A and B are shown apart, each in its own frame.
Chain A
Amino acid sequence: EPEVTQTPSHQVTQMGQEVILRCVPISNHLYFYWYRQILGQKVEFLVSFYNNEISEKSEIFDDQFSVERPDGSNFTLKIRSTKLEDSAMYFCASSETNIQYFGAGTRLSVL
């Protein structure tokens, strides 16, 4: 069964460093998403991406964040200068209709 894959599963970084989280969505899907879950809190929407541009973003998704689809298969989330409060599980999702399929997540730890 097709699945969304995310790498790495765990990323440790120093505060102020840039990180790139990677995702390979399901191949025929056209909509892509990033969500995050801070430990003990809700899964929160960050951004959606369609037709090579951001279609919706939350207030969390500020100038520190960017997304890119650099080729036909990858979808990345970049955090330019990480803060302690960026520590969270980051989930990528993709969809063809209104059902979103999620990856296993990347746990980001900012020290």
Chain B
Amino acid sequence: GNSVTQMEGPVTLSEEAFLTINCTYTATGYPSLFWYVQYPGEGLQLLLKATKADDKGSNKGFEATYRKETTSFHLEKGSVQVSDSAVYFCALHWQGGSEKLVFGKGTKLTVNP
């Protein structure tokens, strides 16, 4: 079945450090891929998305590229801020008739000043 494997956390970085959170997926066909972020006490918010191979999603300085050849959608940011501290979820939506999102386990990021 469809699944998402996400880098285990927690991740702790200093402000202005480079961030990578790895995400790989298993799916039939061509899923859409998403990164959601959950700030403390809040719901899951869509951070960025990509709907086809080689698409790059970007938002708030975060980027992720849909790599079909490696079935990956790694999240990157060049310079993290304290306000980026949150839990990050990679997810896929299989476009073959199912409506559900399939999530990874989430990666908790803490950025220290």
Q: How large is the interface on A (under 10, 10 to 19, 20 to 34, 35 or more residues)?
A: 20 to 34
Residues in A neighbouring B36, C-beta threshold 8 A: 102
Contact partner of B43 (CB less than 8 A), chosen from A42, A48, A55, A105, is: A105
Contact flags (1/0) for B70-113 with A, using CB distance below 8 Å? 00000000000000000001010101001111111110000000
- Beta-carbon contact of A45 and B49 below 8 Å: no
Residues in B neighbouring A99, C-beta threshold 8 A: 46, 49
Query: Is A73 positioned at the interface, with any CB of B under 8 Å from its CB?
Result: no
Max chain A CB contacts within 10 Å: which of B99, B102, B103, B104?
B99
- Beta-carbon contact of A56 and B98 below 8 Å: yes
Max chain A CB contacts within 10 Å: which of B98, B101, B106?
B101
Query: Is A98 positioned at the interface, with any CB of B under 8 Å from its CB?
Result: yes
Residues in B neighbouring A41, C-beta threshold 8 A: 105
Q: From A9, which residue of chain B is reached at the shortest CB distance?
A: B41
Contact partner of A42 (CB less than 8 A), chosen from B42, B99, B100, B104, is: B104
Contact flags (1/0) for A88-111 with B, using CB distance below 8 Å? 000101000011111111000000
Question: What is the interface size of chain B, counting residues whose CB is below 8 A from a CB of the partner?
Answer: 22
In the assembled complex, the CB of A57 is this many whole angstroms from the nearest CB of chain B, namely 9
Complex A-B: 19 CB contacts under 8 Å: A6-B43, A33-B100, A35-B101, A42-B103, A42-B104, A43-B44, A43-B91, A45-B101, A48-B99, A48-B100, A50-B99, A55-B99, A56-B100, A58-B100, A98-B93, A101-B46, A102-B43, A102-B44, A105-B43
A: which residues have CB within 8 A of B? 3-4, 6, 31, 33, 35, 41-45, 48, 50, 55-56, 58, 91, 93, 98-105
B: which residues have CB within 8 A of A? 32, 36, 41-46, 49, 89, 91, 93, 95, 98-106
Shortest 7 CB-CB contacts between residues of A and residues of B: A45-B100, A102-B44, A43-B103, A104-B43, A102-B43, A48-B99, A103-B43
